[in-house]
Structure 1
Amino acid sequence: MDNKLFLDSLLFEYVNASDVKRAFQLEFEGYPPEEAATLEKLEYRQSLAPTLFLGAYLPPNLSTSSERLLIGFVVSTLTSATTITEESMSHHDPFGKTVCVHSVCVDKLYQRRGVAARMLNEYITKLRNESQNRDTDVKYERAVLISHEYLIPLYQKVGFILKGESQVVHGNDKWFDLTFEF
């Protein structure tokens, strides 16, 4: 299947509680152990901020099962801080205006096919639409994340701006702060 057709066939839906274990499997396979979120953290994020946990799913006709299959996700919480700190990453503030992205993860079988960029574009669109919806009090001001240096071009491709080296220490490698202003 041609890659554009593949990307166009993906389903983007909020990850429900029954898919969090699959998200954890992807997280565990995609990040070094010292960087991966625990199942409990993913369950916490899904329960408190379900509309900030977006999944990329293969439809049943492209999956080896009769159901859609989670192949990637973006998960965030809210903070009142304008930048990422250890504290802002630790708790969900339901009144926060900053979307703190914790994980962007794609199944290794589907990496380097544009899934992460497509998923992030979908995520940003949903956040922007939610912020502009007059029927809701939700008004996000920015999305922030930390990235390893080799992934910075991916995030810049979807509109994040590099702010510099992060103060956050998480695992062994250096991190960089990126921001997307709405």
Structure 2
Amino acid sequence: MDHNSFINSLTFKNVNESDIERAFQLEIEGFPPEEALTIERYRYIQSVAPTLFKGAYFSDSSSTSFSKLILIGTIMSTLADAPKITKESMFSHNPFGKIVFIHTVCVDKHYRGRGIALCMLKEYIKTLKNESQNKDVNGKYERVALICHEHLIPLYQKAGFTLMGESEIIWGNEKWFDLVLEL
């Protein structure tokens, strides 16, 4: 299957409770232990912000006569009112917040390098914009914020994020950088 066909074959939808274990597996494959979130954190976010926890699913019909959707990528977020990510906002969810904080973007190690992360980000942003325009006059969300390591900055810039500088967040052993996208 060529690249465009593969990307076009992906299904993007909310990650449900039955996919939490698989989503967490992607997290521990993608992050060093000192940076990975816990399974409890995954369950918490899925329960309080289910519409902000999206997955990329690939349809695998190789082993049976019917197609099975396999979770190969996730984006998980919560809401806050702070203009940028703080240590406190990383561990809370304000259902009335207008700032979407992306906690994690993960892609299965067997599918990396195929543009899935960028595709997921663009689809996620499009969904957030649509939800904002359809909710009320003031919009539901104002901005998307995240922190990332330096080598990932170009990925997020391709998705439309602006680099704000080095983050005050200390999490793990590497430097983090603040990025935002105005909706």
TM-score, length-scaled by structure 1: 0.96
Could you tell me whether the CA contact under 8 Å between 1:74 and 1:103 is conserved in 2? yes
Whole-Å separation in 2 of the counterparts to 1:162 and 1:28: 26
| Shift, 1:94, TM fit | 0.5
Residue 103 in structure 1 maps to residue 104 in structure 2: yes
Whole-Å separation in 2 of the counterparts to 1:174 and 1:157: 21
2:25 match: 25
2:125 match: 124
Q: What are the Cα deviations for residues 9-39 of structure 1, in whole angstroms up to 9, with x where unaligned?
A: 0000100000011000000111000111100
Residue 144 in structure 1 maps to residue 145 in structure 2: yes
Whole-Å separation in 1 of the counterparts to 2:63 and 2:27: 20
Q: Which runs of 5+ in 1 are unaligned?
A: none
Could you tell me whether the CA contact under 8 Å between 1:77 and 1:99 is conserved in 2? yes
2:161 match: 160
Could you tell me whether the CA contact under 8 Å between 1:130 and 1:136 is conserved in 2? no
| Shift, 1:126, TM fit | 0.5
Residues 63, 177 of structure 1: CA spacing in aligned structure 2 closer, same or farther, 3 A cutoff? farther
Whole-Å separation in 2 of the counterparts to 1:34 and 1:180: 27
Whole-Å separation in 2 of the counterparts to 1:145 and 1:71: 21
Percent identity, please. Answer: 59
1:58 match: 58
RMSD: 1.7
1:70 match: 71
Report the AA paired with residue 42 of structure 1: Y
Residues 17, 159 of structure 1: CA spacing in aligned structure 2 closer, same or farther, 3 A cutoff? same
Could you tell me whether the CA contact under 8 Å between 1:12 and 1:55 is conserved in 2? yes
| Shift, 1:137, TM fit | 8.3
Report the AA paired with residue 44 of structure 2: Y
Q: What are the Cα deviations for residues 104-152 of structure 1, in whole angstroms up to 9, with x where unaligned?
A: 0000100010000000000000000000004698610000000100000
Could you tell me whether the CA contact under 8 Å between 1:13 and 1:55 is conserved in 2? yes
Q: Which runs of 4+ in 1 moved over 2 A?
A: 60-66, 134-138
Residues 108, 80 of structure 1: CA spacing in aligned structure 2 closer, same or farther, 3 A cutoff? same
| Shift, 1:61, TM fit | 2.8
Whole-Å separation in 2 of the counterparts to 1:44 and 1:55: 16
Q: Which runs of 5+ in 2 are unaligned?
A: none
Number of aligned residue pairs: 182
| Shift, 1:59, TM fit | 1.3
Q: What are the Cα deviations for residues 62-120 of structure 1, in whole angstroms up to 9, with x where unaligned?
A: 68894200000000000010101101111000010000100000001000100000000
Whole-Å separation in 2 of the counterparts to 1:136 and 1:13: 26
| Shift, 1:156, TM fit | 0.1
